[in-house]
Structure 1
Amino acid sequence: MTKDEVLAEFRAAGALLEGHFILSSGLRSARYLQCARVLMDPKRAERLCAALAAKVRSLIGGIDLVASPAMGGVIVGYEVARQLGVDSIFFERVEGKFTLRRGFSIAKGARVLMVEDIVTTGLSSRECIAGIDAEGGRTVGAACLIDRSNGKADLGVPLASLAGMDIPAYPADQLPPDLAALPAVKPGSRGLK
């Protein structure tokens, strides 16, 4: 899948939004990718995740398990795991720290792929990777639908993505005038840091 084809899927789903958005990092942006909308169509999710699984196979190779941060990475992680023929688990935030619950565990030394929906600063991804490592897994790579950092976020492992985008993000007190003139909305599921 080309970058244009991936973005066409987001546009067709009404998942590429324009306005003034408050990101979970607290930064502000004029564009927002609402992955929940692009993933609500199972056929679209399957197409996107099959393409991502193909990239994982060529960049990272074989894995034993997919682990994702909840909430955004759960659907993508599940579908990528299905495409790769491995199990999928997810970490949940408990008192601000990613934790395995629901009887999930990671076998010592397992080759684990961390899967997210969107990587922006890489903070959630790095936190999830730290959780994988703390549970005894070996994070061999990461994958996401869209890399908003366009390759700038350092996760400490190879990152496979369907598309990289350079979408500027600004501190609230350093907004360009056109963005400052728009009302700010917080579209994501996670509170601000």
Structure 2
Amino acid sequence: MQEEDVLAEFRASKALLEGHFLLSSGRHSAHYLQCARVLMDPARASRLAIALAQRIPRELRKDIAKVVSPAMGGVIIGHEMGRALEVEAMFVERPEGTFELRRGFALEPGDKVLMVEDVVTTGLSSKEAIKAIEAAGGEVIAAAALVDRSAGTADLGVPFFPLVAINFPTYAETELPPELASTPAVKPGSRAAS
């Protein structure tokens, strides 16, 4: 799947929104990718996961024993990546503000794990998820995401394989362009701004 094919999937599902958005990173943008919409069609989610799995080099892919994703945004793509790689998929969640495995999910010591996200903007959630996976005994050997919005700046400490890089400008509250400053921000994400 080429980049234009991926973007066509986002457009077809109306997952690319325009307006004034407050991102979970605390930054503002005129564009928002709502990955939940692109993943709500199981056939589309499967196609995207297969394409994402193919981005991971074969030598890494063959070592992956488990897929772990952060809740909520990474749950669907994590599950589909587990299917594409034919390994178990589970997720970490924040019941008290810190990611942890729950619901009977467990890793064997040394399990080689692929951490999968929907969107990486700053890498904060991904790094927190990786820390939780390691605390649970897993060894994160790579990370993957449908979308890299970091402009290539997210350093997750492991090889990172996004399906597509989409780099709409983002702004701090103090540097908003007039067209954004004149409209109220909508907070479409599921996590409070930091």
Q: Normalization by structure 1: what TM-score?
A: 0.96
Percent identity among equivalent residues?
59
Q: For residue 35 of structure 2, what is the aligned residue in structure 1?
A: 35
CA distance in structure 1 between the aligned counterparts of 2:164 and 2:71, rounded to whole angstroms: 21
Matches within 5 A, 1:110-129: 110-129=111-130
> 2:61–2:85: 8 Å Cα contact kept in structure 1?
no
Structure 2 letter corresponding to 1:161: P
Are the counterparts in 2 of residues 120 and 148 from structure 1 also a CA contact under 8 Å? Answer: yes
Stretches of structure 2 that go unaligned for 5 or more consecutive residues are: none
Structure 1: distance between partners of 2:99 and 2:59? 26
> Is the partner of 1:89 in helix, strand or coil?
strand
Q: Which deviations, in whole Å up to 9, do the C-alpha atoms of 1:150-181 show, x marking residues without a partner? A: 32100001111111122221111211112212
Say whether residues 1:73 and 2:64 are aligned partners. Answer: no
Partner of 2:152: 151
The within-5 A match list for 1:81-160 is 81-160=82-161
Counterparts of 1:131 and 1:3, CA distance in 2: 31
Per-residue Cα deviation, 1:95-118 (whole angstroms, up to 9, x for no partner)? 210011101111101100000000
Instruction: Name the count of aligned residue pairs.
Output: 193
The residue correspondences of 1:169-184 to structure 2 (distance < 5 A) are 169-184=170-185
Query: SS of the residue aligned with 2:137?
Result: coil
* CA-to-aligned-CA distance 1:105-154 (integer Å, 9 cap, x gap): 11101100000000000000000000111111110000000101132100
Question: Any conservation in 1 of the 2:22–2:28 contact (CA below 8 Å)?
Answer: yes
> In structure 1, what residue type is equivalent to 2:105?
F
Give the TM-score of the pair, scaled to structure 2.
0.96
User: 1:10 — aligned with what?
Assistant: 10
Query: What is the CA distance between 1:54 and its match in structure 2?
Result: 1.2
